Structures are given as structure tokens and as C-alpha cells.
Structure 1
Amino acid sequence: MSSARLDLKNLRKSFGHTHVLADINLSVQPGEFVSILGPSGAGKSTILQLLTGAIAPDGGQMLLDDQPLTPAQHRFAFMPQGDALMPWRRIIDNATLGLEVQGLGRQAARSRVIPLFEEFGLAGFENHYPAQLSGGMRQRAALLRTVVQQRPMLLLDEPFGALDALTRAQMQRWLADMWTRHRWTVLLITHDVREAMLLSDRIYVLSARPACVAHHFQVPLDHPRHSVGSPELAALEARILQTLLNPED
């Protein structure tokens, strides 16, 4: 998977009289894991909708490797909230769906996907239906469907938000290990401060809407991180929570 650098400059978006995003400025470097935190309704998911071309900005710039991003480019692999697996398709057919939409033939798509089932912990479940899998396995299948598209950047919109606490913690560790191995370029939307600290190189915290970047944090620890219990991360967590609660300070 090739990587790319993303730059958002003074990005603005309103829906009617509701101003959602005001002058969003952020960047994601190749091979970097970046998270966006913010209060509910701040426009975190709106940023991903703008990047995928589902909606258009009112102003500002979206640049990929210094070139203006257009909807026709389809440069991102997007994983929405929840797994969005089609219940009538077997797991292997769910995993190949993005490739088939791109125009790849069924057999060619399967040939690209099948070697990844073991790495994603899904070997032996290729012909199962989503209802036959645990929540964590469904999320791994959804992520497999996302990364196999080999886009320059992954956009993850609260991928573990619907899971129970134990499964969510297991999936966070699994994703941390997978990212360390593959060094995908990732932009993650999350409400979970500890999830952001466990996974991210950098964290952007948005203000309430109309949202701008209230603060930008570097996470000062090497990957992989299987614990956020160190004094350094405890102090960082406190600073992030303080920013979320009092973004104007």
C-alpha cells in the first residue's frame, strides 16, 4: 500500500444555518497514525465525509501530496462506524466487496484477499456469514475489506465504538500490532481518549462546533503500546481531558 501526505487547510463546512467546521487545519504524514478527538456533534465524522467526497466543503483546501483532492480520485479506504458487513454475503465475499466495486473480477479479488485471512485471525471462517462471527471477528473482517483495497490512506470512523469493553480493548491491541507491522497511514475518529493514546503518533482535539483545532498533542512513546498506564501517558491523558472539557483554556 503506497502512502500519501494529507493536509487540510482552513477547511469549512456548514449545513444550512448550522456552522459545523470552522478553519480546520491538520496534517497526516505518510505511515503515521493520527486521531481526532472532540465533543459529540463537533464534526469529526464530517471531516471523513469531506475526504471521501460524500459532501463538498464550503471553503479551504484538502491536499494529498500537495495536490488538490477531488471526489473522483477515490484515494481513501473508508471504514464506517460498525462493521457494515452484508449479512447475506459470506465473509470472503464481504472482504472482496471493495475490490469488486473497483472493477476487479471475483476470482482476482479472492486471490488478493485469501492470503490475508490468517493474518487477520479469520482463517477457517472464509465461508461463514457475519451472524456466525463474534463482534471482534466481524470488525477484523471489516478492516480486512478496508485495507485490501490498497489505498494510500485508511479512514476509520469509531471502528470499535459498538463493541463491549473487553472486546474493544482486545481489538485496540490487535490494531496496534497490525499497524506496527504494516505502517499504514491512518486517520482515526474516536471518542476514546485512551484508544487514541494507545494507537496514535499524534492527536488533534476539536472544539465544540463550529469546530476548530483546539489543541494538537504528540504521543511521546514508541510503538507498539500495550498499556497506557505509564506516568507520561497518565499526564498526557489529563491534558487531553482538560482540553476536551475546557477547549478555550
Structure 2
Amino acid sequence: MTRLELRNMRKNFGALEVLAGISLHVEEGEFVSILGPSGAGKSTLFQLLTGAIRGEGEMRFDGAPLDGARFAFMPQRDALMPWRRVIDNATLGLEVQGMKRRAARERVAPLFAEFGLAGFERAWPAEQSGGMRQRAALLRTVVQQRDMLLLDEPFGALDALTRAAMQRWLETMWRNHRWTALLITHDVREAVLLSDRIYVLSARPARVVREVAVPLPRPRTESAALAREAAAIEAGILDILLGAAEPISRQSDGENR
């Protein structure tokens, strides 16, 4: 079932054209990535989805006009509040929705072990590693029980080793829960590791130049055979990003499904 559908989304900031007719869809329980160069307008697209800004085009969720409250959003930085303990950072989204802190803690506490945070409930964010802070941020995001996750380059600020570990951890967590998720990234390897499908964007003004299926089996292990398949997909995407492909559709409605 199609959860999210965008048709011919456009956005200008004055004379600057940022999005030039983006169309995409995300199915129930699917992990989809939007991949493109820095400055292509990926974060602008998320701002449109969450209602932070307005643009032109059509956005639908479950077939109805989009309501930004459908999404739980994880930003590029963990955005943990330094004066709140880890458990109270994890409950913040629930409290904003009106839940009392005691009830929010009762909902969140059983998940700490699954998120690799057991024993750190009362710790301060400054006492956590980068990876632990990102796990706490993801817990804060998913516990809100929205219809879909929006992940805005959540591991971009981490060092290479921690980022690789967090990518594998997220792939495992996604397999366990089958969240409907949309990730934006400029990391080709990250997109291939995590995704069922990838939308590749051009440089600004952003257009979809290719929709790439990732038919790799899950779990996405470190086997040599899987690594070869992943490397071939990555190489093809790099060719696209370097300008080896034209936009897959120039129809007037921007459709590229």
C-alpha cells in the first residue's frame, strides 16, 4: 500500500529554483532513500513534508492530502537537550504531544535495552558517545508512534567507524520493526546498505534522475557475495551522480514512478 506520494513538487526561494518537479512514492513498511549531492535541496524537501515551508505540487498520505503530523522527524544532529537526562530526552516528543512525563517514561523505559541504552537512563547527554546519543535520538523519534519516519542524514556528524556501526544497527532495527522510513543522505554506501529503493537527485535545481531498486537480501551482512553486489549498485549510482544519466521523465506532470 502506498503511504506517501509526491507529485511534481516545486520550490523556489525568490529567483532561486531549488526543487524542479520531484515525484516519488513510499510503500508501507518500505525503507526509501533520497540521495543527492550537498545543496541539492534534500532538506528542503523534508521541510515541505513537515509543513515548515510551502511549495507547489501535490503531497498525499494514504491517498489523502498530506498532514505533516503523520511524521516523526530525526534531524542531522541528535538535538538532545543537555539539561535533560537521557530518558527525559527520549520522552520529549511524547511530552510535547501532551503526555505526562511519568506516563512517557513508562512507555520509553522498556525500550532502552533494545536501543543499546540500558543502564544509561539517568545519564546526561554529555556523558554519552556519539553513537549512543544518536540511538537516544532515534528512540525519541520512533516512540512517538507516527505513521512514518523522516531521517535527515542522522549519522552525518559521526566519525567513520561509528557511522558504519550505526548504519548496521539501524538496518537491524528496521528489520525488527519494519518502520515506513524515508532517509535523505549524500552517502551512496549508506543508501545502498539501508534501502529498498533509492531516488537519485540531480544538483540544484533538484530533479529525480533515476529510481534505483536495491534487491539485496536482508539482513545486509558482510558476506563477500553481498559486498560484490552492493559495490556494483554503488558504482552505478556514482555514474548517475557524475552525470551519466538524464532525468527519467520530462513529462509535464513530473511523474517518475
TM-score, length-scaled by structure 1? 0.95
Structure 2: which amino acid aligns with 1:242? Answer: D
Q: CA deviation at 1:70?
A: 3.4
Secondary structure of the corresponding residue to residue 236 of structure 2: helix
Alignment of 1:1-249 (within 5 A): 5-57=3-55, 59-71=56-68, 74-227=69-222, 230-246=227-243, 248-249=245-246
Task: Give the conservation status (yes or no) of the 8 Å contact 1:82–1:162.
Answer: yes
Secondary structure of the corresponding residue to residue 77 of structure 1: strand
Q: CA deviation at 1:146?
A: 0.2
Structure 2: where are the runs of 5+ without partners?
247-257
Q: Give structure 1 regions of 4+ aligned residues with deviation exceeding 4 angstroms.
A: none
Q: CA deviation at 1:165?
A: 0.6
Task: Give the conservation status (yes or no) of the 8 Å contact 1:80–1:158.
Answer: yes
Secondary structure of the corresponding residue to residue 214 of structure 1: strand
Task: Give the conservation status (yes or no) of the 8 Å contact 2:86–2:125.
Answer: yes
Secondary structure of the corresponding residue to residue 137 of structure 1: helix
Identical aligned residues as a percent: 71
**Separation of aligned partners in 2, 1:109 and 1:244:** 43
Q: CA deviation at 1:234?
A: 1.5
Q: CA deviation at 1:4?
A: 6.6
Secondary structure of the corresponding residue to residue 134 of structure 2: helix
Q: CA deviation at 1:10?
A: 0.3
What RMSD, in angstroms, separates the aligned Cα atoms of the two structures?
A: 1.3
Which residue in 1 is equivalent to 2:254?
none
Structure 1: which amino acid aligns with 2:191? Answer: A
Task: Give the conservation status (yes or no) of the 8 Å contact 2:82–2:126.
Answer: yes
Q: CA deviation at 1:26?
A: 0.5
Q: CA deviation at 1:48?
A: 0.7
Task: Give the conservation status (yes or no) of the 8 Å contact 2:2–2:25.
Answer: no
Task: Give the conservation status (yes or no) of the 8 Å contact 1:38–1:207.
Answer: yes
Structure 1: where are the runs of 5+ without partners?
none
Task: Give the conservation status (yes or no) of the 8 Å contact 2:33–2:191.
Answer: yes
**Separation of aligned partners in 1, 2:238 and 2:39:** 17
Q: 1:105-124 deviations in whole A, cap 9, x for unaligned?
A: 11111111001001001011
Q: CA deviation at 1:227?
A: 3.2
Q: CA deviation at 1:221?
A: 1.1
Q: CA deviation at 1:226?
A: 2.8
Structure 2: which amino acid aligns with 1:185? Answer: T
Q: CA deviation at 1:235?
A: 1.4
**Separation of aligned partners in 2, 1:119 and 1:233:** 28
Structure 2: which amino acid aligns with 1:11? Answer: M
**Separation of aligned partners in 1, 2:222 and 2:212:** 18
Task: Give the conservation status (yes or no) of the 8 Å contact 1:197–1:228.
Answer: no
**Separation of aligned partners in 2, 1:37 and 1:21:** 14
Q: CA deviation at 1:228?
A: 8.0
Secondary structure of the corresponding residue to residue 56 of structure 1: coil
Q: 1:31-50 deviations in whole A, cap 9, x for unaligned?
A: 00000111111100111111
**Separation of aligned partners in 1, 2:236 and 2:147:** 32
Q: CA deviation at 1:247?
A: 5.4
Q: CA deviation at 1:231?
A: 2.4
